A and B are shown apart, each in its own frame.
Chain A
Amino acid sequence: MIRFVARENVPRWLDFVVPLASVVLAMVVAGIMLAATGHNPLTTYQHIVQASLTQPGALSQTLVSMTPLMFTGLAAAVAFRMRLWNIGGEGQLYWGAIGAAGAGLYFHSLPGWLLIPLMMAAGLLAGTLWAAIPGVLRAYLNTNEILTTLMLNYVAANVMYYLIFDSTSYWRDLTSPSAKVFPQGKNLPAAASWPAFQVGSLTIPFGLIVAVGLAVLLWGMIRATRYGFEMRVLADSPAAGKYAGIRTRRKILSLMAISGGIAGLGGASQVGDFSHVLDPRGLEQAGFGYTGIVVAALARYNPLAVVVTSFFIGMLVNAGFALQGPGFPIGLTGTMEGILLFCVLGAEIFTRHRLEIRLPHARPKTQIPAPPVAVGPARGETS
């Protein structure tokens, strides 16, 4: 018989060894899958490392790929930590991009030091408002937020497509002749481009610095503020939280807004740092919001760990773009993310439990030695 038995004392090293072992297991499983479909796993892994780390410029590209993932990863982590399942990072990021692009176009005559904060504020606000819809529905009508946030992703995508492809909106370029045939967004003014910092050969996008700062801030908020404490109480025991007088509805709504705002900021960074235009197809194909869930789950919803996991998933995503072709099908990225997630999720039980395997024929053996006759009161009994 095989069963899991709760450990009485949990060694600290298990908290590191178990996730590490599960990542190794994931690489072995993915390797078997690659080999079974006629790919050489070792060369594939080697190509991933080359394309995302060692080749010239590869590491800078990985930083580009990880920036939006850190935003959406943080957005998912804060919400999931409170068992608020915001799967709408995708749509909130779209709205952030719409908001930031709108601000960048509208205030085009302003200097960069004023324009960039305005874009950030617009992205944050747009994401917050979009997340407030499922937030209000969950807080006041108890509507399942998993489904509403997800459905709103599709609605947001359609809004974005409408703005660029099916209307004469403010975001659409209507001046150049080519734009009339192939609809595209208006290019943002040069002042709306977020700065990038050069460290040796490495290019660090401004958005990445903002995201790391945000990770530290959120970590501190969860650990050291009254808000974070109340949030953790509600997550682990909603009944206790209510009894202690914590305003549950307000907390759900505010947390949803924070989560949406972070994802919206990610959309702003995407426009300001990289695309400089509202690009519906590019955003939809990238799927930053969904990948952010992987990033958050691998980090076990710890904002600081998101910085690390977004780097590794960023490597994978970047390699996926760079290596696209017969040797590296697009679907491999999601497949490997899924395997990684399953291994890490499944292994979590081993940190608190140990596996006990008892063979059926061994059972009578344990019954043979007669129990010693108890002299005093047995443990646990009171006399």
Chain B
Amino acid sequence: MTGINANVGISIAMTAILYGTPLVFAGIGELLAERSGVLNLGVEGMLLMGGVMAFLVSQRMTGPNGLVLLAAVLVAMVASAAMALIHAFVSITLRANQIVSGLALTIFAGAIGLSSYIAEDNRIGGKAGKHQFSQLDLFGLKKFPVIGPILFGQSAMVYLSWLAVIGAVLYLYRTRTGLHLRSVGESPQAADAMGINVTRYRYLHTLAGGALAGAGGAVFTLQIATNWIDGLTAGAGWIAIALVIFSFWRPELLIAGAYLFGAFTSVGFDLQARGITSIPSEFWSALPYVMTIVALVLVSAGSVRRRLGTPAALGIPYVREES
């Protein structure tokens, strides 16, 4: 980048969007699942599964760059949706506690779980990435001052994440199934009485949440890190869950929060890369987590309505009353 587009502000904004993108995918996915009444604390595990599967495909598959990347993302989405299916089966059909089942998923797929197992069995840990998403130059407008790189110079995954947000907004507020989804999360009894299949809605949205988390994981291994280290998401899945809470379960707010947290992650890297090391690196590493707590406190302490936007049936298994 040259000229005005080389300044600190633009570079922080670009990295903030990059680090925020997995949060957008995973956050929108969790939002859809929670809107149906299913809390899935397995996001961290699903991100790691998506990440490892995407990296595995990109290492093993040969072919044109675009095709390999497409296949890698699709495989990642399927793998993470499969993880979500376990949670759905255990917590929806078998009515197990959703919190514990989600934690089980994070342990099962997490840093010392299946994602690490797959990486070690296929010896892909530490290998240099062969395929990765690069920044595009849409309509040749990337060099346009300030908004050029931000609007036209992103990678395909960033544009896909924007589509996911727009799609989620339209789906939730402008379609009949979106309305049904919200009713399932608010009052499954009423939804059931209306003839909506509560179980099917919960399964499908939990799976969709998994698939989106898988895409988020792919961003980690195909664009942010471009290699594999066990547990490389470092808690991003948990920040995504927190984002759903302080966006009041609304996709349009979630993306803003995701980029804010992307900025908290990137500002430390950026300052250190510029040789400003008077503040220890651990401070910058801890910053996103501390800010997550601060944001959660601010939202929960809001005295007007404590649980603004929380789906009323969140976390509660639905059992149809039968005579």
Q: Mark A128-166, 1 if CB is under 8 A from B, else 0.
A: 000000000100011110111011101100110110001
Q: Mark A85-103, 1 if CB is under 8 A from B, else 0.
A: 1010000000000000000
Judging by beta carbons under 8 Å apart, are A155 and B90 in contact? no
Q: How far is the CA of A162 from the CA of B109 in the complex (A)?
A: 29
**Closest B residue, CB atoms, query A285:** B112
Q: B105: which of A141, A330, A338 is its contact (CB, 8 Å)?
A: A338
Q: A158-B286, A341-B107 are in contact. Are A330 and B112 (CB under 8 A)?
A: yes
Residue A70 at the chain B interface, CB threshold 8 Å: no
Instruction: State the main secondary structure of chain B at its contact with A.
Output: helix
Q: B108: which of A38, A159, A334, A349 is its contact (CB, 8 Å)?
A: A334
Nearest-neighbour CB distance to chain A for B293, whole angstroms, equals 5
Q: B289: which of A155, A330, A331, A346 is its contact (CB, 8 Å)?
A: A155
Judging by beta carbons under 8 Å apart, are B289 and A154 in contact? yes
Judging by beta carbons under 8 Å apart, are B107 and A144 in contact? no
Q: What residues on B are CB-neighbors of A166 within 8 Å?
A: 280-282
Q: A161: which of B107, B117, B230, B282 is its contact (CB, 8 Å)?
A: B282
Residue B245 at the chain A interface, CB threshold 8 Å: yes
Nearest-neighbour CB distance to chain B for A59, whole angstroms, equals 23
Q: Which of B271-323 contact A (CB under 8 A)?
A: 280-283, 285-286, 289-290, 292-293, 296-297, 300-301, 306
**Closest B residue, CB atoms, query A286:** B112
Judging by beta carbons under 8 Å apart, are B104 and A341 in contact? yes
Residue A254 at the chain B interface, CB threshold 8 Å: no
Q: What residues on B are CB-neighbors of A338 within 8 Å?
A: 104-105, 107-109, 113-114
Q: Mark B207-249, 1 if CB is under 8 A from A, else 0.
A: 0000000000000000000000010001100100110010000
Q: What residues on B are CB-neighbors of A159 within 8 Å?
A: 282, 286
Judging by beta carbons under 8 Å apart, are A146 and B108 in contact? no
Residue B159 at the chain A interface, CB threshold 8 Å: no
Judging by beta carbons under 8 Å apart, are B113 and A329 in contact? no
Judging by beta carbons under 8 Å apart, are B117 and A329 in contact? yes
Q: A335-B108, A338-B113 are in contact. Are A152 and B280 (CB under 8 A)?
A: no
Judging by beta carbons under 8 Å apart, are A337 and B117 in contact? no
Instruction: State the main secondary structure of chain A at its contact with B.
Output: helix
Judging by beta carbons under 8 Å apart, are A154 and B286 in contact? yes
Q: A144-B245, A290-B107, A349-B95 are in contact. Are A297 and B116 (CB under 8 A)?
A: no
Residue B118 at the chain A interface, CB threshold 8 Å: yes
Q: How far is the CA of A291 from the CA of B112 in the complex (A)?
A: 10
Judging by beta carbons under 8 Å apart, are B120 and A331 in contact? yes
Interface range on chain B (Cβ under 8 Å from partner): 35 or more
Nearest-neighbour CB distance to chain A for B22, whole angstroms, equals 16
Q: How far is the CA of A52 from the CA of B230 in the complex (A)?
A: 25
Q: What residues on B are CB-neighbors of A331 within 8 Å?
A: 112-120, 230
Residue A167 at the chain B interface, CB threshold 8 Å: yes
Nearest-neighbour CB distance to chain B for A137, whole angstroms, equals 6
Judging by beta carbons under 8 Å apart, are A146 and B101 in contact? no
Judging by beta carbons under 8 Å apart, are A335 and B117 in contact? yes
Q: What residues on A are CB-neighbors of B114 within 8 Å?
A: 331, 334-335, 338
Nearest-neighbour CB distance to chain B for A22, whole angstroms, equals 11
Q: What residues on A are CB-neighbors of B238 within 8 Å?
A: 147, 150-151
Nearest-neighbour CB distance to chain B for A196, whole angstroms, equals 27
Nearest-neighbour CB distance to chain A for B87, whole angstroms, equals 9
Judging by beta carbons under 8 Å apart, are B108 and A148 in contact? no
Q: What residues on A are CB-neighbors of B280 within 8 Å?
A: 162, 166-167
Nearest-neighbour CB distance to chain A for B42, whole angstroms, equals 10
Nearest-neighbour CB distance to chain B for A75, whole angstroms, equals 14
Q: What residues on B are CB-neighbors of A141 within 8 Å?
A: 297, 300-301
Q: B301: which of A143, A148, A334 is its contact (CB, 8 Å)?
A: A143
Q: A141-B301, A331-B118 are in contact. Are A154 and B103 (CB under 8 A)?
A: no
**Closest B residue, CB atoms, query A296:** B100
Residue B256 at the chain A interface, CB threshold 8 Å: no
Q: How far is the CA of A144 from the CA of B292 in the complex (A)?
A: 11
Q: What residues on B are CB-neighbors of A341 within 8 Å?
A: 100, 104, 107-108
Q: A330: which of B89, B230, B234 is its contact (CB, 8 Å)?
A: B230
Residue B111 at the chain A interface, CB threshold 8 Å: yes
Judging by beta carbons under 8 Å apart, are A146 and B90 in contact? no
**Closest A residue, CB atoms, query B90:** A346
**Closest A residue, CB atoms, query B97:** A345
Residue B28 at the chain A interface, CB threshold 8 Å: no
Q: How far is the CA of A161 from the CA of B293 in the complex (A)?
A: 20
Residue A268 at the chain B interface, CB threshold 8 Å: no
B90, B107, B242: most-surrounded residue (chain A CB, <10 A) = B107
Seed contacts A349-B94, A349-B95; 16 additional CB < 8 Å A-B pairs? A143-B301, A144-B300, A151-B235, A152-B293, A154-B234, A155-B290, A161-B282, A329-B120, A330-B117, A331-B115, A337-B107, A338-B104, A338-B113, A341-B104, A342-B101, A345-B100
Q: Lowest 8 A-B CB distances belong to which pairs? A: A338-B108, A331-B117, A331-B116, A334-B113, A329-B120, A334-B112, A341-B104, A158-B286
A residues adjacent to B (C-beta < 8 A):
4, 37-38, 80, 85, 87, 137, 141-144, 146-148, 150-152, 154-155, 158-159, 161-162, 166-167, 287, 290-291, 293-294, 297, 329-335, 337-339, 341-342, 345-349
What are 7 A-B residue pairs whose CB atoms fall within 8 Å in the complex? A151-B292, A158-B282, A161-B282, A330-B116, A331-B117, A334-B111, A338-B107
B residues adjacent to A (C-beta < 8 A):
41, 86, 89-90, 94-97, 99-101, 103-105, 107-121, 230, 234-235, 238, 241-242, 245, 280-283, 285-286, 289-290, 292-293, 296-297, 300-301, 306
